Amino acid sequence: SGKGAAILSAAYAQLGVHQDCTMLVTNALAAVGIHFHDWPAGYLSLGETVPMSQAQPGDLLYYADGGGGMAHIAVYAGNGMAVHGGFNGNDTVVFSANVGSGPVAIRVR
């Protein structure tokens, strides 16, 4: 969708930025006029969950455990990859979507 493409583009624009996962997603959502900041689970309220087999670029990915024992939120980039904030010393990077407990995809309304 156009909204998903804009969210992903805004996430890509933040590559290399030193920030946590919630700021990455907050900044990406601002590009489509959604002003929201919360703990990772809070982003589940912004849309409907869809199976990962139906995930589209720009969907948000929620992890109950992002791999370090803490919840995590990312932006799906397609082809099994995602834009993650808070990785490797809090830098924003493109990395596998399949980390930690595995993602739940959220299609932003």
Q: How far apart are CA 75 and CA 84, in angstroms?
A: 7
Mean local confidence (pLDDT), 28-37: 97
Q: What is the pLDDT of residue 40?
A: 96
CATH class of 2-108: alpha beta
Q: Tell me the CB-side half-sphere exposure of residue 63, using CA atoms within 13 A.
A: 25
Does the CA dihedral 7-8-12-17 come out positive or negative? positive
User: Which range (6-20, 27-41, 80-94) has the least confidence?
Assistant: 80-94
Q: What's the pLDDT tens digit per position in 42-97?
A: 999 999 999 999 999 999 999 999 988 899 999 999 999 999 998 767 899 999 99
Q: How far apart are CA 97 and CA 50, in angstroms?
A: 15
The alpha-helical segments, DSSP class H, found in the chain are: 2-12, 21-30
Pairing of strands 72-78, 81-87: antiparallel
Q: How far apart are CA 51 and CA 44, in angstroms?
A: 14
Q: What is the pLDDT of residue 5?
A: 97
Q: What is the pLDDT of residue 87?
A: 75
Tokens 């990395």 -> residue: 95
Q: What is the pLDDT of residue 89?
A: 74
DSSP bridge partners of 62: 73, 104
